[in-house]
Amino acid sequence: MKKILFLLLSLLSLLVCLISPFLYFFGRIEEKDHKLIFLLASAGWFVFATLWSSIRKKNHRLK
């Protein structure tokens, strides 16, 4: 369950990283907001993807 949650959260973070520059390009957000969103979403990706990867690795070891 946790594994799926972390996977979803990491993918969501990556999606936000991708959407943020497009929002800036289309003039929906300011440049500084885009950079802040990108930074936070990147941090989210690293946290959740690392957690997902470590659970995945632990499961592999148990098998």
Strands, DSSP E only, in the chain? none
Residue 17 binds to another protein (criterion: CB under 8 A): yes
- Cβ partners under 8 Å of residue 55, min gap 6: 2, 3, 6
46 touching another protein, by CB under 8 A: yes
Q: Is 28 helix (H, G, I), strand (E, B) or coil?
A: coil
CB nearer to another protein: give 60 or 62.
60
Among 27, 60, 62, 63, contact with another protein (rule: CB under 8 A) = 27
Q: Does 49 bind another protein (CB under 8 A)?
A: yes
The footprint of another protein on this chain (CB under 8 A) covers a number of residues equal to 23
Q: Quick one: tokens of 37?
A: 């969103």
